[in-house]
Every structure is written in C-alpha cells, then in structure tokens.
Amino acid sequence: METIGHLINGELREDTARTQDVYNPSTGAVQKQVALAGRATVEEAIAAAEAAFPDWRDTPPVRRARIMFRFKALLEAHADEINQLVGLEHGKIGHDAGGELQRGIENVEFACAIPELLKGEYSRNVGPGIDSWSEFQPLGVVAGITPFNFPVMVPLWMYPAALACGNTFVLKPSERDSSSTMRVAQLAQEAGLPPGVLNVVNGDREAVDTLLHDPRVQAVSFVGSTPIAEYIYASASANGKRCQALGGAKNHAIVMPDADLDNAVNQLLGAAFGSSGERCMALPVAVAVGEDTANRLVDKLGAAMQPLKTGPWSDSSNDFGPLITKAHQEKVRGYINSAEADGATVVVDGRNTVVPGHENGFYVGATLIDHVTPDMQSYQEEIFGPVLQVVRVNSMQEGMDLIDAHEYGNGTCIFTRDGEAARYFTDHIKVGMVGVNIPLPVPVAYHSFGGWKRSLFGDLSAYGPDSVRFYTRRKTITQRWPSAGVREGVSFAFPS
Ligand code: NAD
C-alpha cells in the first residue's frame, strides 16, 4: 500500500518508520498510509529551508512572481487530477473540490503582484538632506500547519504569499488527506522553486512540536480547531515566534421578518450542507426573528431539504459527500442525539442515512433541528457536520446579543430587505466576516480572512494584505548623504 512521504529539499522522501491509515471516506476503506515524521525528519526540512533562505531572499521579487505565474498555470492544467485526490481522501464532490482549488489559485494570483505589494513607504527630506523609508523584509523560515477540510486551499492561503515575500517554508498538512497537498507542492516545485524553498512534512503532534520549539523557525501560521489553535499560539509565542492561529467557528444567520425567505432558504442550504458542513465558514445556526418568521422558515427549509442527496465524491449529482472519519460521523450523530435529549425538535433527520453500495462510508444526511436554545451543547460547540439548527428570538437585538455572547466570531450574516437594519448589524456585530444576504462571506484573495474572539489568536488575518505584513518585518532606514561642497559640518545634538 502506498505511503505518503515528505517533500524535503526538492525531493520526495519515503518514510515508513511510523505511519497512519488514510481512508476513502466515501467507502470507509483504508486506501493509503501517511508517514508521521519524527523530530529528525522535521529538523532536516527546517535545515533545508534555512539553507535556501539567503539566495531566495535576494532573488528579485519580480522573479519570485514569475514562478507564481507558472505555478498558477500548472494548477489550472492539473485541476482534474487535484480535484480527484481531494475527492478520494476528503470526500468532497467534484464541483466543491473545483471551488476550493479556484479559491486557492486566487491566492497564487495575489502573490503574483508581490513586486507592487513590497514597494514600501518613502519620505524625502524628513530633515535637511535626509530621506527615510520603510521596507518590508522577509522573516526567514516560516512554518504552516493546516487542517483536513481544505487540503488544497488553506496551504495556498499561506505559502504563495510567504514565499513571494522572500521567506522559505515548512508545511505540515493534515495527516488525514494530504495527497492533494503534496501534489500541489510538487507543482510549485515544478514551477521553478529552488530546492529547500518549500518543504512539506507529514506528521502529527511530534512534527508540530518540533516546528514550535525549533529556534530557526521565525513564524507559524496555523489553521484548525480552537483548542489546538490556542495551544499553537501560546507555545509559538512563548518561544518568541510570530504566530497567527485561526480556530473554529459557529456562524449564525439572522433571518428578519422582512427577508426574502425563498432566497434565504436557498442560500442557507448551500451554506449549511455544502461540503457536509465541514467548513469554518459553514452556517449551522439560523436565528429567526419572530415566531411567524421561524414557522415559515422551518416549513420552507424542511421542504427544500427533501431532494438533497449525499453520496460518494465521484458522483457529481450528489449535493455533498461523507464526513472525514468514522469517529467524526459518530460525533456529529451524537450532537443530534444530545439536541433531541435536551428538548429540541429534529425536523429532518440525517442520522440513519445509508448510501446504497457505500454502506460503510462516513455519511450523515442533511439534518434540521428546531427550537434549539443557547444552553444546549449542540448550540455551544462546533459540530462541523451537515446540521442546521434554528433558534427563535423576538428581536434583531436579541439575535445580535446571542451572536456576541458566543465564544466564536468567525462569520455571520443577516437576511433582510432593510438597509438600515443591515447597516446597524454590520456596524455593531462582534464578528470578523459579515454578510448581508450572503451567508458565506469569505473574503476574496485581495482582502484578508480572519475571525474575532476565539476564532483567531493573533493580530493579523490570513492571506491578502495582512499576509504581506505577517510574512515580513518592517525596517525603517533614515539616510543622509552630505552633498559635496555644501557640507555644513557634523552635529552631535539629538535630532529634533
Ligand atoms: P485540528 O485542529 O484537529 O488539526 C489541525 C492541524 O493541527 C493538523 O495539521 C493536525 O495534525 C494538527 N494537530 C491536531 N492535534 C494536534 C495536537 N494535539 N498538537 C499539535 N498539532 C495538532 O483541525 P481539523 O479537524 O483538521 O480541522 C477542522 C477544524 O479547523 C475546525 O475546527 C474548523 O473550524 C477549523 N478551520 C478553521 C478555519 C479558519 O479559517 N478559521 C479554516 C478551516 C478550518
């Protein structure tokens, strides 16, 4: 059986010392093994990145950008192959995998603009004959640690920008589905990256801890669940590294009485059940304002959910595929059980969904739960499955208070026809990414992505303009060149 190895110093590396099963979630069968790097292997990758740094940082940004242009073209040319690898190991249906790749490519396109983005700031004559400028220099070796749910896109949030800024990189992808991540990294290599500039090590906590403790690693970008994000942020910071750690979510949509309900229902289906709800920007909570709104919303959702189809990744007529593991399938079913036990009403029940011919796949069907209240465990915690819960409130303010009180603050949305209500909502809600009649307000690649509260530890968001700040350090130079013949003499007074 094939074992997914590592990419170190430009070469694929086999490693079978310690491995873990990789499943095909659509069938439930083990299809590969993945190597779990030990400390020495990770240290080798860090050493390769460190050795590659001096030449790479001195490579003109426009040449680094040209590699990104070639990388983009290669990603487009290999789209089918990449989407298939995502489907086989993650379970994402083809159209969804295609969307993930497209969003990833847009981050490569952003990195193509690096000569413009690194231009810096310049002031002439800050004093007589004195000029001053700030430039943005690369940090050195940067590490990225990524989750299973976007094995192509989330790594592309990180290393195209980091490399374009002149850093070298060690990526530790999720151990559950890293074949596509590896293939994409090989294409980056093929695009012209010198050996050691981009390295990928597969692994688990041992690999992560090595990256967190090695003094050669200057900065860490993390995306994953909140408990691990908090651990990564605390450890990296304690070790003097710059860190951004993006965590979990529980995104709410407020549905106002004046909303176009058919549009809201249509949008909510994609946002709640797309990719089986395994998205940090999924929308698992609808907050209906008023009993009448709630009753109409639940009726329409229940009817609209009937034709939804779950099944294997390879059948593009399916709306969404399986969950990532059997353990996760059981966890999601457990949340539905707990909501029911706590007194909520399961309106559409996906717990016993069986896909003929794929009986051992990790499926949970689309589920709708009404009369959910904030004290329930299913409301408080991130489920990360195809489960939409409805909470009933009496006013928009009550809905906003609910959202503000939640520990997570990644994304949110309001469905309304009232511009004043929408403006009040976007002005005041304590959430990082906000949609108006758009339930998945994922910023485009030339903005930045980040939640508030316990959805992001660190000051800077992922990708876009913030990534250029995160992956560089400012240096400010103040310079005087005495002009020949007009030199006035040296002053030792403190400059004023
Ligand atoms: P996870 O936290 O289990 O794993 C993320 C990464 O951390 C993986 O590379 C994993 O190997 C590593 N890891 C896991 N346990 C570790 C430990 N004890 N010590 C050190 N490293 C460890 O997350 P996941 O299940 O792969 O992904 C789903 C989660 O990611 C969800 O909570 C989701 O909301 C979140 N997510 C957030 C965003 C965002 O932008 N905020 C985006 C995508 C996913």
Torsion of CA 468, 473, 478, 484, to 10 degrees: -80
Domain co-membership, 419 together with 294: yes
Sign of CA dihedral 358, 359, 363, 366: positive
Tell me the three state secondary structure of residue 150: coil
Q: Is 165 a catalytic residue?
A: no
Ligand 1, pocket residues at CB < 6 Å: 145-150, 154, 172, 174-175, 204-205, 208, 223-225, 228, 246-249, 280, 382, 384, 410, 451, 455
Q: Do 463 and 420 lie in a common domain?
A: no
Q: Which two tokens stand for residue 38?
A: 């030990």
Instruction: Evaluate whether residue 371 is within a structural domain.
Output: yes
What's the confidence (pLDDT) of residue 490? 63
> Is position 492 within any domain?
no
The Cα–Cα gap between 402 and 396 comes to 10
Task: Give 116's contacts (C-beta < 8 A, 6+ positions apart).
Answer: none
Q: What is the DSSP string of 391-453?
A: EEESSHHHHHHHHHHSSEESEEEEE-S-HHHHHHHHHH---SEEEES-S--PPPTTS-B--EE
The residue from 112, 165, 243, 280 that is catalytic is 280
Domain assignment present for residue 447? The answer is no
- Pocket test of ligand 1: the residue of 208, 232, 431 to mutate, having most ligand atoms within 8 Å of its CB, is 208
Domain with residue 67: its CATH number is: 3.40.605.10
Helix%, strand%, coil% for the chain, nearest 5: 40, 25, 40
User: Are 263 and 412 within one domain?
Assistant: yes
196-to-189, 201, 254, 421 alpha-carbon distances in Å: 10, 12, 48, 52
Q: Which residue is it, tokens 């860490």?
A: 220
**Three-state DSSP class for residue 267:** helix
Please check whether residue 406 lies inside any domain of the structure: yes
In a domain, 491, yes or no: no
Residue type, 318: N
Q: Is residue 424 part of a domain?
A: yes
In the chain, the number of structural domains is: 2
CB-based contact 252:403 (threshold 8 Å): yes
Which tokens hold the place of 253?
């949509």
Tokens (6 digits) for 431: 């959430």
Best CA proximity match to 246, nearest among 76, 453, 423, 440: 453
**Which pLDDT does position 427 carry in this prediction?**
98
> Going by CA atoms, what residue is nearest to atom 18 of ligand 1?
205
Q: Are residues 429 and 370 in the same domain?
A: yes
CA of 65 to the centre of ligand 1 (A): 30
From 90, 156, 223, 275, mutation site for ligand 1 pocket: most ligand atoms within 8 A of C-beta = 223
Residue 363: CB atoms within 10 Å = 26
CATH number, domain containing residue 350: 3.40.309.10
**Domain with 153 in it:** 3-247+455-477
267 and 397 inside one domain: yes
The DSSP H or E segment spanning 94 is helix 94-111
**Among 279, 280, 453, 460, which is best to mutate for testing ligand 1, by the most ligand atoms less than 8 A from CB?**
280
Q: What are phi and psi of 303, to 5 degrees?
A: -70, -45
Q: Are residues 228 and 363 in the same domain?
A: no
**Which residue's CA lies nearest to atom 30 of ligand 1?**
224
Query: Could you tell me if 216 and 264 lie in one domain?
Result: no
CA of 173 to the centre of ligand 1 (A): 10
User: According to the model, what pLDDT value does residue 496 have?
Assistant: 61
For residue 224, the ligand 1 atom closest to its alpha carbon is 30
121/229 same-domain check: yes
- Is residue 462 located within the same domain as residue 325? no
Q: Name the residue with the closest Cα to ligand 1, atom 39.
A: 246
Q: How many angstroms does the Cα of residue 147 sit away from the middle of ligand 1?
A: 4
Regarding whether 179 and 264 lie in a shared domain, the answer is no
- Is residue 283 domain-shared with residue 227, that is, in the same domain? no
Is there a domain that residue 46 lies in? yes
* Segments of the chain scoring below 70 in pLDDT: 484-492, 495-496
Q: What separation in Å is there between the alpha carbon of 225 and the centre of ligand 1?
A: 4
Would 77 be classed as within a structural domain?
yes
How much is the mean pLDDT over the chain? 96
Q: Hey, which residues does 32 pair with through a beta bridge?
A: 22
- CA 124 to ligand 1 center in whole angstroms: 47
Residue type, 325: T
CA 62–ligand 1 middle distance (angstroms): 34
Cα separation, 163 vs 310, in Å, equals 38
Amino acid at 411: G
- Same structural domain for residues 147 and 66? yes
